[in-house]
């Protein structure tokens, strides 16, 4: 079972690299934010997997909970911060 | 390899499958609004399935500590279910207020 | 439910009017919401701390009591209303999860389809909901966002929804059955 968890963790890291591509390439700031948010939600799963690998789930589950909350607050704060920036796109405003 | 392990593995792999869908969808979809669909929600269901698998696996050696840890994992799941739609709506709201027009059929991808 | 309580008060006291005035101005604390908030918070505390010796439990009681007293005006659950809501929610949740899984499979199919660009057809749908209370509107909006293929862009307090749908098929069933189920879960149907 440990081997399966190890390879799942590696696969999750690979998925995070895929999301990182969007965070680097994304044409607008909001695209980058989507990429970062996706990485964060995968990190929560990855943290618990690491906990199983080290046989200390009881400790890592607290870290995962704190990370989930931090990720949520970071996304909300960033979206509130960027919502007043005009000209994310070079187009006429919509609505 | 008993029946519990098989349930755990099935849940874990279906969770990883949905997470893969989320990561690929972010790369393939044409614009910001449609990218939010896989990012906000396939990830939610993927983490839900994977977390349920972990909570079940953790109960193998039953004890009070293991039960509490499983409850904490379920608490994370509930939190993700409440927080993920809110975060998605926050990002979409920022996009609308910044004046991004949604992609429609026939335009080139961004 | 609140009405019944006030009627009960009226039978006992002749000064029910004064009591009502006091209650509406918030001078007289209603202890029901504080207790509910306290017990929910204490449950979370026990799960998170995981220690059952008297020292940690008393710390939890003290901090939960302070926070519940301060924030009971902010979060206003009433005891019986919460129970009724729980009973009505239980049939709604499995249906929601079934719907989420069905819609997730649809979006996953779209993501992995080789000619994905021909299949998707993003559009913005506007409709008006019949739901009344704010909590029901928020629940409906979050349910729409959770079922993939649709994201709530904007909700006005009157119930005007703007929804971004990824293709024609996922936008069709709105508001439809989900609104009826949410209305039933909140006793408005």
Domain-by-domain residue ranges, chain B? 3-98
Q: Report helix angle B43-58 to A29-54, nearest 10.
A: 10
Nearest CA-CA distance, residue C60 and chain B, Å: 17
Cα–Cα distances in Å, from B18 out to A8, A41, B53, C30? 13, 13, 14, 47
- Mutation target for A interface from B19, B34, B46: give the one with most A CBs within 10 A: B19
Residue extents of the structural domains in chain A = 2-82
Question: How far apart are alpha carbons A33 and A24 in whole angstroms?
Answer: 10
Stated length of chain A: 95
Rounded Cα–Cα distance for residues A54 and A61 (Å): 12
Bond into A25 cis (ω within 30): no
Whole-number pLDDT of residue A14: 92
Mean pLDDT of the B62-70 span: 84
Partner residues linked to C165 by β-bridges: C123, C150
**pLDDT > 90 fraction of chain A, expressed in percent and rounded:** 27
Q: Do B18 and C146 touch (CB under 8 A)?
A: no
Residues 6 or more apart in contact with residue A57 via CB below 8 angstroms: A48, A51, B54, B58, B69
Please state, in angstroms and as integers, the Cα–Cα distance from residue A4 to each residue in A16, B5, B12, following that order: 18, 11, 10
Bigger pLDDT: C130 vs B23: B23
Any CB–CB contact under 8 A between B45 and chain C? yes
Is pLDDT above 80 for B13?
yes
- Phi, psi angle pair for B27, to nearest 5°: -75, -35
Element holding A24 (H helix, E strand): helix A2-25
Q: Is the pLDDT of residue A83 over 80?
A: no
* Bridging pattern class, strands C150-155 and C123-128: unpaired
Lowest mean pLDDT among A85-94, B3-12, C120-129: A85-94
Supply the pLDDT for residue A7. 92
Contact B32 A31 (CB under 8 A): yes
Q: Is the pLDDT assigned to residue A88 strictly greater than 70?
A: no
Average pLDDT over residues B55-63: 83
| Mean pLDDT of the A76-88 span | 71
Q: What is the pLDDT of residue B106?
A: 65
CA distance A79 to chain B (A): 5
| Residue A44 CA, distance from chain mean position | 8
| Region for C187 from its dihedrals, namely left if φ exceeds 0, alpha if ψ lies in -120 to 50, beta otherwise | left
| CA–CA min distance C150, chain B (Å) | 7
Closest to A68 in 3D by CA, of B85, B83, B70, B86: B83
Above 70 in pLDDT, residue B25?
Answer: yes
- Closest by Cβ to C100, choosing from B45, B82, B93: B45
Interface membership of B58 toward A (CB under 8 Å): yes
Average pLDDT over all residues of chain B: 84
Are the Cβ atoms of C111 and B24 closer than 8 angstroms?
yes
* Low pLDDT (below 50) residues in chain C: 1-27
Give the best residue of B37, B46, B48 to mutate against chain C (max C CB count within 10 A): B37
Q: Which among A27, A10, A74, C60 has a CA at the least distance from the CA of B83?
A: A74
* B76 and A43 Cβ atoms separated by less than 8 Å: no
Least Cα separation, residue B24 to chain A (angstroms): 7
Looking at residue A21, the DSSP 8-state letter turns out to be: H
* DSSP-H helix ranges across chain C: 2-12, 16-25, 31-49, 54-71, 79-112, 116-119, 134-146, 168-171, 176-185
**Helix (H) / strand (E) containing A53:** helix A29-54
Distance CA C171, CA C186 (A): 24
Distances (CA, A) of C51 to B60, C41, C46, C47, C176: 21, 16, 7, 9, 48
Helices (H), B29-63: 32-37, 43-58
Cβ–Cβ gap B94/A83 under 8 Å:
yes
Angle, CA of C146, A43 and B23, to the nearest 5° = 60
Q: In chain C, which among 26-65 make CB contacts under 8 A with chain B?
A: 44, 47-48, 50
Chain C residues closer than 8 Å to B102 by CB: 122-124, 164
Give the pLDDT mean for B99-105: 71
Q: Does C119 touch chain B (CB under 8 A)?
A: no
Question: pLDDT for C44-80, tens place per residue?
Answer: 888 888 778 888 889 989 998 898 888 877 766 566 6
Burial class, B62, CB count within 10 angstroms (exposed 0-12 / middle 13-18 / buried 19+):
exposed
> For position C8, what pLDDT does the model report?
38
Domains of chain C, by residue range, sit at 2-71, 85-185
Q: Residues A5, B28, A14, CA angle at the centre, nearest 5°?
A: 25
Interface of A with B in 3-62 (CB under 8 A): 4, 8, 11-12, 15-16, 18-19, 21-22, 27-28, 30-31, 33-35, 37-38, 41-42, 44-45, 48-49, 52, 57-58, 61-62
The DSSP secondary structure of A56-82, one letter per residue, reads -HHHHHHHHHHHHHHHHHHHHHHHHHH
Q: Is the separation of the CB atoms in C122 and B102 below 8 Å?
A: yes
């Amino acid at each position: 079972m440990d081997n399966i968890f190890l390879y799942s963790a590696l696969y999750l890291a690979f998925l995070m690299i895929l999301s990182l591509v969007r965070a680097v390439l994304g044409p607008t700031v909001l695209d980058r934010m989507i990429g970062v948010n996706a990485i964060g939600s995968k990190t929560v799963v990855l943290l618990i997997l690491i906990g199983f690998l080290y046989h200390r789930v009881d400790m890592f589950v607290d870290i995962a909970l704190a990370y989930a909350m931090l990720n949520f607050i970071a996304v909300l704060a960033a979206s509130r911060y960027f919502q007043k920036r005009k000209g994310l796109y070079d187009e006429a405003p919509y609505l | 390899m008993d029946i519990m392990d098989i349930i755990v593995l099935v849940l874990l792999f279906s969770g990883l499958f949905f997470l893969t869908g989320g990561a690929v969808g972010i790369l393939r979809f044409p614009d910001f609004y449609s990218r939010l669909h896989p990012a906000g929600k396939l990830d939610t269901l993927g983490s839900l399935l994977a977390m349920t698998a972990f909570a079940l696996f953790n109960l193998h050696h039953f004890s009070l500590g293991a039960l509490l840890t499983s409850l904490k994992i379920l608490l994370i799941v509930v939190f993700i279910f409440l927080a993920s739609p809110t975060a998605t709506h926050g990002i979409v709201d920022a996009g609308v207020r910044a004046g991004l027009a949604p992609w429609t059929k026939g335009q080139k991808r961004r | 439910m609140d009405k019944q309580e006030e009627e009960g008060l009226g039978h006992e006291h002749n000064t029910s009017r004064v009591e009502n005035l006091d209650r509406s101005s918030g001078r007289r604390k209603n202890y029901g919401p504080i207790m509910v908030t306290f017990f929910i918070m204490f449950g979370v505390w026990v799960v998170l701390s995981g220690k059952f010796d008297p020292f940690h439990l008393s710390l939890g009681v003290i901090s939960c009591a302070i926070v519940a007293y301060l924030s009971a005006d902010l979060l206003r659950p009433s005891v019986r209303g919460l129970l009724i809501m729980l009973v009505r929610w239980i049939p709604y949740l499995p249906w929601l999860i079934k719907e989420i899984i069905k819609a997730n499979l649809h979006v996953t199919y779209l993501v992995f389809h080789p000619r994905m660009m021909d299949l998707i057809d993003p559009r913005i749908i506007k409709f008006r909901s019949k739901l009344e209370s704010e909590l029901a509107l928020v629940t409906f909006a979050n349910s729409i966002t959770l079922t993939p293929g649709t994201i709530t862009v904007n909700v006005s307090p009157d119930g005007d929804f703007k929804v971004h749908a990824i293709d024609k098929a996922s936008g069709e069933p709105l508001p439809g059955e989900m609104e009826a189920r949410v209305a039933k879960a909140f006793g408005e149907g």
